[in-house]
Amino acid sequence: MRLTILLFDRFTALDVVGGYEVLARLPGVETSFAATECGVVAADTRRLGLIAYQRLADVKQTDILYVPGGPGVDAVMTDAEVLRCVAGLSEQAAWTVGICNGVCVLGAAGLLAGRRVTTSWDSRDRVAAFGAEVLTDRFVIDGDLLTSAGVSASVDGALALATELVGAPAAQLVQLGIEYYPAPPFGPSSVDAVPESSKEAVLRWRAEVEPKQLEMTTPWHTR
């Protein structure tokens, strides 16, 4: 069973690795990282680089297509060639997975009309505009489509997909293997219990502070 994980400039690393760490360990799964070009793909912080071993255009078939999120999603949504590949691979795949605002990529590829999905807390309106019914769940399975909330929800979503693929007893062994019995040191139990003022602070940080931080610092890979 082939798992193809899409990488693109400014992906969010935990969107990728949260799901990968569950799915790549399932018996018979062959994992491949694919991007427009082979080589190093830089995460949103510019400090982490993951390797794409395949060109997306060279992927002829996959059983699971996995689309993570990140600030780079905006550029992906206007890349006709990537969207064509995503739509084509999704059509043949047994499962299509969208994580965080990566769900927007599926929407831009024309895959969300009439589908029940979830996405990151700050992308719900955007995903709904593609004609999807957006739930506030941590993950949602609708037919052959698995979507998850933001970033770390990729672990929960992937465990749910693992249950579909190999059954709950085997999926629980994977959960044990990655010791996933989470215990956050603080915080509410749901993103929807977080005050609006905190959400505004995060959005402001992303819009105003993060880009300046990136400009000010030289990525290691260009030194």
Instruction: Report helix, strand or coil for 35.
Output: strand
Tell me how far CA of residue 89 lies from CA of 38, 70, 103, 171, in angstroms. Answer: 18, 21, 15, 25
User: Taking CB under 8 A as the criterion, which residues in 108-127 touch a copy of itself?
Assistant: 120-121
Question: In the window 50-69, what residues touch a copy of itself (CB under 8 A)?
Answer: 50-51, 53-54
Residue pair 22/155 in contact (Cβ under 8 Å)? The answer is yes
Q: Which of 38, 85, 100, 104 is catalytic?
A: 100
How many of the chain's residues bind a copy of itself (CB under 8 A)? 73
Contact call for residue 214 and a copy of itself (CB under 8 A) = no
Least Å distance, CB 172 to a copy of itself, is: 6
Nearer to a copy of itself, 87 or 142 (CB): 142
- Residue 33 CA: distances (Å) to CA of 17, 39, 41, 221: 11, 10, 10, 20
Q: Does residue 100 carry a catalytic annotation? A: yes
CB distance 190 to 137 below 8 Å: no
Q: How far is CA 218 from CA 40, 130, 221, 223, in A?
A: 16, 37, 8, 7
Site residues (CB under 8 A) for a copy of itself, limited to 81-110: 100
Cβ-based nearer residue to a copy of itself, 22 or 106: 22
Minimum distance from CB of 215 to a copy of itself (Å)? Answer: 14
Q: Quick one: which segment of 58-66, 71-79, 104-112, 164-172 binds a copy of itself (CB under 8 A)? A: 164-172
Q: Does 138 bind a copy of itself (CB under 8 A)?
A: yes
β-strand pairing of 39-42 with 54-55: unpaired
Active-site residues: which are they? Answer: 100
